[in-house]
Amino acid sequence: MLYREAGQFKTTYAADMAVFPIRQDRMALYLLLAVAFIGVPLFAQLHIWPFGGDYLIRAILVPFLILALAAIGVNILVGYCGQISLGSGAFMAIGAYSAYKFGTGVHIPLEWLGSEISIPPLPLVASILLGGLMAAFVGVLFGIPSLRIKGLYLAVATLAAQFFFDWVFLRVKWFTNYTPSGSVNAPELSFFGWIVHTSTERYLLCLAFVTIFAFLAKNLVRGNLGRQWMAIRDMDIAAELMGIRPLYAKLTAFAVSSFMVGVAGALWAFIYLGSWEPLAFSIDRSFQLLFMVIIGGLGSILGSFLGAAFILILPILLDQVPHALGIPISVETVSLLVFIITGMLICYLLIVEPHGFARLWSITKEKLRLWPYPY
Amino acid sequence: MIVVGQVLEVLIGGLLAGVLYSLVALGFVLIYKASGVFNFAQGAMVLLAGLALVRSLDFMVARGAPTWAAIALGLLFAAVIMAICAWIVERYVLGPLVNQDGLTLFMSTIGVTFILEGASQMIFGSDVYPLRLFPTDAWFVAEGLFPGGILVNKLDVWGGLIAGTLVAGLAIFFQNTKTGRALRAVADDHAAAQSVGIPISWIWFVVWLVAGLVALVAATVWGTKLGVQFSITFLALKALPVLIIGGFTSVPGAIVGGLIVGSGEKLAEVYLGQHIGGGIEYWFAYVLALAVLLVRPQGLFGERIIERI
């Protein structure tokens, strides 16, 4: 009843092209943003349930936001441009380690020139964004093979990135500033003079990043570039004949995708983990991101959020629900069950609903518009 | 100073290790040829087959069965498990996905991988289980030619023999049996094959079964070498660069690719690794595959990729 667009006339082209053309959608979005930006910190400050401790924010909301950002990046590449990637974990690692190097000062001795390159430690935001840029650069490098190969072949090329960078960050001590254990600590999180300490502050910082990049991504995929990507995805030869340059379209997809994944990696390392080792960005992470995209919805920004939420919450649910019901279940069984359920869900969704949860959501909205008289 | 004997030793060790990659790669090629599905789950199938074999073997030996009977029954049991797995995959995953594009099928096999990894470890346990089917002791050959001879692991020689037999058997199966010819027909054009009366779902079941049996053979060798454990699935990922180098559609390509990868990475590890920090075995195969992709995307023996609109 409430979800009706009757009487909402579009009088300008801008209104016609809006991201959310229906007023109720806009209201819902503003409400969601208000809750996320004001409500959650307020609740956490006042210790109102469920924000009593900082568990919910620290262990669920912060990783959810960061992984959702990474999933948006992967979705741009896999869902919008149709280039499958199994190396997203590596690009997260590149973002994280580059941001770490920029945040702690880069120092490259050039002995044969008798000089050196020295960059002083950069502020937090700059190093995170530069981390993203480095990831974008490497992403373009590994995207070059996509001009000749595709599909399964490309998957192997991206696997090469994954294994190569796993090794680089483990073995090349320069990246870890020669720490003996190989694990590194994030520099102090100083954001324009504001030192980020508490979980709520970390949450707000992530939220700001994710909101900005989600809007950027949403507008990119609606525009010229996004349409080029989708044309390439749907049929690359036909797209080329229509005048879309595959070189430009594919490499921009790789660059934008890797940039977002890299920023997410830097956030993951700096804000969520605090101290980390290369294992945090192994191939498991790549699969996790790919699954978020498949389950959430290929080619949908909303789907990236839904998929990230699902993949993150599934193990927690499997851990908590049997406990609450009094069924003893070991940690190992939970992790194996997560494997099985994720796998089954992927097969099920690919067969029944290839566009994932996002499509279910839009079907719900469609039904809601007609309710209670479906005809 | 590079000694010829040492190079040969590393080379032979690498070649024989490459045979093991080929064993996994063969399973990929079979399914790819017959159904156009790139089966990411081959590694998980090796794990499943290995676990089924080693657990049933332990079970029977613990109850006092003679070793030969235990091995025979264990292999039979594992084969039955692979058949069930093949049936389930064909019936519930690939059957409904018929006519979808390659990417969707590929992602569905990633889903299958996770189901198999979870289910096999849940049913059979997730520890490291040692498997003793082949001798694993060292063996010195050509002692007259080089000082100290060349050290060869007997297991690797067994692996080579088994791989040879398997390829020969598969070649006969594909060329000379009715099912084999039907398989090739389906691979060419499944709609046309169906219209001349080839039961396509049965054929796909057979393909997955054969791939499952190849996985079982790979599991016996891999399991003897490393023990049956979860990390086998990661080693099986190495079969992917093997395929890229050899070509997706070629059985001999899988073998040659495996040999190139195996010997290449061992040589690189020994002679290049010491200069840039060890452990380059970990990625060498993939980067090699990447280089091959840039020059010859269809691989050494693959059919040329032709696209039509």
Q: Would you say A294 and A72 are in contact if contact means Cβ atoms under 8 Å apart?
A: no
Q: Report CA dihedral (A66, A70, A71, A74) to the nearest 10 degrees.
A: 180
Q: Note whether B102 contacts A350, CB cutoff 8 Å.
A: no
The strand pair at A275-276 and A190-191 is best described as unpaired
For the segment A176-233, what is each residue's pLDDT rounded down to a tens digit? 888 877 788 888 777 777 787 788 888 998 999 999 999 999 999 999 999 999 999 8
3-state secondary structure of B282: helix
Contact B286, A163 (CB under 8 A): yes
- Contact criterion met (CB below 8 Å) for B233 and B44: yes
pLDDT: is A75 or B129 the higher one? A75
Residues with Cβ within 8 Å of B63's Cβ and at least 6 positions away in sequence, in order, are none
CB contact under 8 A, B38 and A170: no
Mutate to test the interface with B, among A169, A236, A351, A352 (most CBs of B within 10 A): A351
Question: Encoding tokens for residue A71?
Answer: 């999933």
Residue A45 tokens, joined: 């400050």
Rg (CA), chain A: 22
Domain coordinates in residue numbering, chain A:
54-370
- Per the prediction, chain A carries an average pLDDT of 87
Query: Considering the domain boundaries, does residue B135 fall inside one?
Result: yes
Residue B235 maps to a domain: yes
B252/chain A closest Cα distance in angstroms: 19
Distance CA A68, CA A62 (A): 10
State the smallest CA–CA distance between residue B113 and chain A in angstroms: 7
Contacts of B117 in chain A (CB under 8 A): 339, 343
As given in the structure block, the two tokens for residue B127 are 């520890």
**Beta carbons of B244 and A337 less than 8 Å apart:** no
pLDDT digits (tens, 9 = 90+) for B166-180: 888 888 888 888 888
Option in A152, A163, A294 nearest B283 (CB)? A163
Asked whether the beta carbons of B244 and B164 are under 8 A apart, the reply is: no
Query: pLDDT confidence of A340, banded at 50, 70, 90?
Result: very high
Q: Which residue of A has its CA nearest to B116?
A: A340
Q: Position B274: which residue type?
A: Q
**Disruptive mutation site among A146, A167, A329 for chain B (greatest number of B CBs within 10 Å):** A167
Number of domains making up chain B: 1
Residue A107 phi, psi dihedral angles, 5° rounding: -145, 105
The CATH number assigned to the domain holding B181 equals: 1.10.3470
| C-beta atoms of A166 and B290 within 8 A | no
**Mutation target among A154, A172, A347, A352 for the B interface, most CBs of B within 10 A:** A347
**Lowest-pLDDT range of A241-245, B75-79, B136-140, B261-265:** B136-140
Q: Look at residue B248 in the predicted model and tell me its pLDDT.
A: 79
Within 8 A of B44 by CB-CB distance, chain A residues are none
H helices, E strands: number in chain A: 16, 6
Nearest chain A alpha carbon to B38: A152
Two structure tokens written together for A3: 């979800």
Tokens matching residue B107: 């992602």
A362-371 per-position pLDDT tens digit: 998 888 888 7
**pLDDT above 70: percentage of residues in chain B:** 92
pLDDT value, residue B102: 75
Find chain B residues with C-beta within 8 A of A152's C-beta.
38, 102, 106, 248
- B279: chain A residues, CB-CB within 8 Å: 167, 170-171
Task: Specify if B277 maps to a domain.
Answer: yes
- Which strand (E) or helix (H) includes residue A126? helix A124-143
Q: Which of A56-65, A142-151, A169-178 has the lowest mean pLDDT?
A: A142-151
In single-letter form, the type of residue at position A343 comes to G
The per-residue pLDDT for range B153-165, each reduced to its tens digit, is 777 788 888 888 8
pLDDT of residue A122: 82
Expressed as residue numbers, the domain containing B61 is: 4-295
Cβ contacts (< 8 Å) between B85 and chain A: which residues?
none
pLDDT of B309 above 60: no
In a domain, residue B302? The reply is no
Q: Residue A361 pLDDT more than 60?
A: yes
**CA angle, residues A174, A177, A180, in degrees to nearest 5:** 100
Higher pLDDT, B119 or A8: B119
Contact A151 B113 (CB under 8 A): no
Whether the per-residue pLDDT at B188 is higher than 80: the answer is no
Among the partner-chain residues A82, A84, A351, the one whose CB lies closest to the CB of B96 is: A351
Nearest CA-CA partner of A5 in A366, A375, A373, A360:
A366
pLDDT tens readout for residues A258-299: 999 999 999 999 989 888 888 888 888 999 999 999 899 888
**How near does any CA of chain B get to the CA of A288, in Å?**
11
Long-range (24+ apart) CB contacts under 8 A made by A167-171 are A167/B279, A167/B280, A167/B282, A167/B283, A169/A93, A169/A97, A169/A278, A169/A281, A170/A278, A170/B279, A171/B277, A171/B278, A171/B279
H/E segment holding residue A244: none
Note whether residue B18 is domain-resident.
yes
CA–CA separation, A143 and B99 (whole Å): 28
DSSP state of A280: G
What residues of chain B lie within 8 A of the CB of A296, using their CB?
Answer: none
Task: Give the separation between CA A185 and CA A274, rounded to whole angstroms.
Answer: 6
Region label for A244, one of left (φ > 0), alpha (ψ between -120 and 50) or beta (otherwise): beta
Count of beta carbons in the 10 Å neighbourhood of residue A154: 24
In which band, very low, low, confident or very high, does the pLDDT at B1 lie, cut at 50, 70 and 90? very low
Does B307 map to a domain? no
Coil vs helix vs strand at A145: helix
Segment B81-92, tens digit of pLDDT: 999 999 999 899
Structure-model confidence comparison of residues A129 and B61, the more confident one: A129
Across the interface, which of B108, B117, B297 has its CB nearest the CB of A339?
B117
- Distance, in Å, from the CA atom of A308 to the CA atom of A288, rounded to the nearest integer, reads 9
Q: Which residues of A51-77 are buried (b: 16+ CB within 10 A; e: fewer)?
A: beebebbbeebbbbbbbbbbbbbbbbb
**Residue A304 in contact with residue A293, Cβ under 8 Å?**
yes
Contacts of A223 (CB under 8 A, 6+ apart): none
- How distant is the Cα of B10 from the closest Cα of chain A, in angstroms? 22
The mean per-residue pLDDT over the stretch A102-118 comes to 78
- Best CATH choice for the domain A54-370 from the list 3.90.1200, 1.10.3470, 1.10.10, 3.40.50: 1.10.3470
Measured in residues, chain B has a length of 309
Between CA A218 and CA A29 the distance in angstroms is 14
